[in-house]
Amino acid sequence: MSSPHRTLPRDTWRASVAAVAPTGQPTTVVLTLTADESAAVLLAAGTVGLVAPHAARQFSTALLHRRNLAIPLHVGSSVLRLAVTSLAVPGAGTGGARLALVGNGWGWPLLLGPRPVRQLARVLDEAAGRCRRGW
C-alpha cells in the first residue's frame, strides 16, 4: 500500500521560517526543492507552490529592501501571485512583512516579524542558489 505523504530523502535541503497566521496562531513557511532541484517548493498555510529560482531571488531582494512585490506561485495547474507588503514604519530601522496569496479567491495573509523577514530572504536566496537550472 502506498502512502499519500511522500517522505523527503535525508539529504534534501529544507528550511523553515516562523510566521503568524491571521488567527494569531504561530505557523511556519517551509522551503525545500523539487526532486530534480529545478525550483523551490514553498509550503505555507496548507498551500504547496513552486517558485522559479529567478522569482525567489526577486522576492528575497524585495524582502530585504522593504519593497512590495508579487511573483508567480505555481499551485497545481493554477498560477497565483505570492505578494509581499512591507510593514516597515518610516524612520524605524526594522519592520516586518505581510505575505499574501492572491488569485482565484485565494488569500492567506501571513505576518512576519523583522527577524523572520531576514531569514526568509536568506533561505529564498539559498534555495534559488541550490537549483540546478532555472525555468
Per-residue pLDDT tens digits for 89-134: 666 656 789 998 888 666 678 999 989 999 999 999 999 999 976 5
pLDDT at 10 over 70: no
Average pLDDT over residues 76-93: 82
* Sign of the alpha-carbon dihedral angle for 70, 56, 37, 43: negative
Identity at 133, one-letter amino acid code? R
**Per-residue pLDDT at 72:** 92
DSSP 8-state symbol, 89: P
**Per-residue pLDDT at 92:** 61
**Per-residue pLDDT at 52:** 93
pLDDT band at 45 (very low <50, low <70, confident <90, very high): confident
Residues in the chain: 135
**Per-residue pLDDT at 94:** 65
Cα 43 to Cα 40: distance, rounded to the nearest angstrom: 10
**Per-residue pLDDT at 106:** 64
Higher per-residue pLDDT: 6 or 132: 132
